[in-house]
A = this chain, B = another copy of it.
Amino acid sequence: MNRGFLVAATAISAAYALWPLPTDFSTGTAALTLASDFDIDISAIPNPPQDLLDAISRTKGYLQTDQLEALVVDRGVSYNQSLQNASSLVSLVLSYDSGLAGEPTSISEEAIDDIDSRVEGYTLTVPEDGSAATVKANSTLGLFRGLTTFGQLWYDLSNTTYTVEAPITITDSPVFPYRGFMLDTARNYFPVSDILRTLDAMSWVKMTTFHWHMVDSQSFPLEVPEFPELSVNGAYGPSLVYSTNDVQTIVSYANARGIDVLPELDTPGHTAIIAQAYPEHVACPGATPWATYANEPPAGQLRFANANTVNFTACLISSVSARFPGKYFSTGGDELNTECYAVDESTQADLNTTGKTLEQALDTFTQTVQSVLEDSGKTPVVWEEMVLDFNLTLSNNTIVMVWISSADAAAVADKGFRLVQAPSDYFYLDCGAGGWVGANPSGNSWCDPFKTWQYAYSFDPVANLTDAQAKLVIGGEHLLWTEQSHASNLDSIVWPRAAASAEIFWSGPGGNISEALPRLHDVAFRMTQRGVGAIALQPLWCALRPGVCDLTA
Contacts and interface: CB of A to CB of B under 8 A. Distances in A.
A484 B443 CA distance: 24
A517 interface: yes
A464 B514 CA distance: 45
Contacts of A432: 432-433, 449-450
A450 B436 contact: no
Contacts of A489: 489, 492, 533, 535
Nearest to A538: B436
A551 B437 contact: yes
B553 A297 contact: yes
A49 to B, nearest CB: 34
A297 B548 contact: yes
Given A439-B550, A513-B441, A484 B454 contact: no
Given A289-B553, A483-B539, A540-B188, A534 B488 contact: yes
A363 to B, nearest CB: 31
A298 B541 contact: yes
A547 interface: yes
Contact of A297 (B454, B485, B536, B549): B549
B448 A449 contact: yes
Given A189-B540, A488-B492, A542-B297, A551 B291 contact: yes
Given A290-B553, A439-B513, A551-B443, A236 B540 contact: yes
A484 B540 CA distance: 10
B553 A288 contact: yes
Contacts of A192: none
Number of copies of this chain that the complex holds: 2
A187 B542 CA distance: 9
A452 B437 contact: no
Contacts of A493: 492
Contacts of A187: 539-541
A415 interface: no
B218 A541 contact: yes
Nearest to A516: B438
A483 B536 CA distance: 7
Given A441-B458, A553-B288, A219 B540 contact: yes
Contacts of A440: 454, 550-551
Interface in A508-525: 513-514, 517
A491 B488 contact: yes
A118 interface: no
A500 to B, nearest CB: 12
A538 B540 CA distance: 33
A438 B484 contact: no
A323 to B, nearest CB: 25
B513 A237 contact: no
A434 B458 contact: no
A97 to B, nearest CB: 39
Determine which residue in A187, A237, A297 has the highest number of CB atoms from chain B within 10 A of its CB, and name it.
A297
A438 to B, nearest CB: 4
A517 B437 CA distance: 10
Interface string A217-251: 11100000000000000001100000000000000
Nearest to A439: B550
Nearest to A237: B75
A552 interface: yes
A197 interface: no
Contact of A441 (B291, B455, B491): B455
Contacts of A553: 288-290, 297, 438-439
Nearest to A524: B488
A218 B540 contact: yes
Contacts of A551: 291, 437-440, 443
Contact of A542 (B435, B438, B450, B548): B438
A73 to B, nearest CB: 10
Contacts of A482: 536, 539
A190 to B, nearest CB: 11
A486 interface: yes
A535 B484 contact: yes
A430 to B, nearest CB: 11
Contact of A535 (B237, B439, B485): B485
A228 to B, nearest CB: 19
A370 to B, nearest CB: 29
A55 interface: no
Contacts of A458: 441
A395 interface: no
A483 B543 CA distance: 11
Interface of A: 75, 186-189, 217-219, 236-237, 288-291, 296-298, 432-444, 448-455, 458, 482-489, 491-493, 513-514, 517, 528, 533-542, 547-553
Given A188-B536, A482-B539, A486-B535, 10 more contacts: A289-B553, A290-B553, A291-B551, A296-B539, A433-B452, A434-B450, A439-B551, A484-B535, A488-B492, A488-B533
6 contacts: A187-B541, A219-B539, A438-B542, A484-B537, A488-B528, A488-B534
Nearest 9 interchain pairs by C-beta: A434-B452, A488-B533, A489-B492, A218-B541, A439-B550, A438-B550, A187-B539, A439-B514, A218-B539
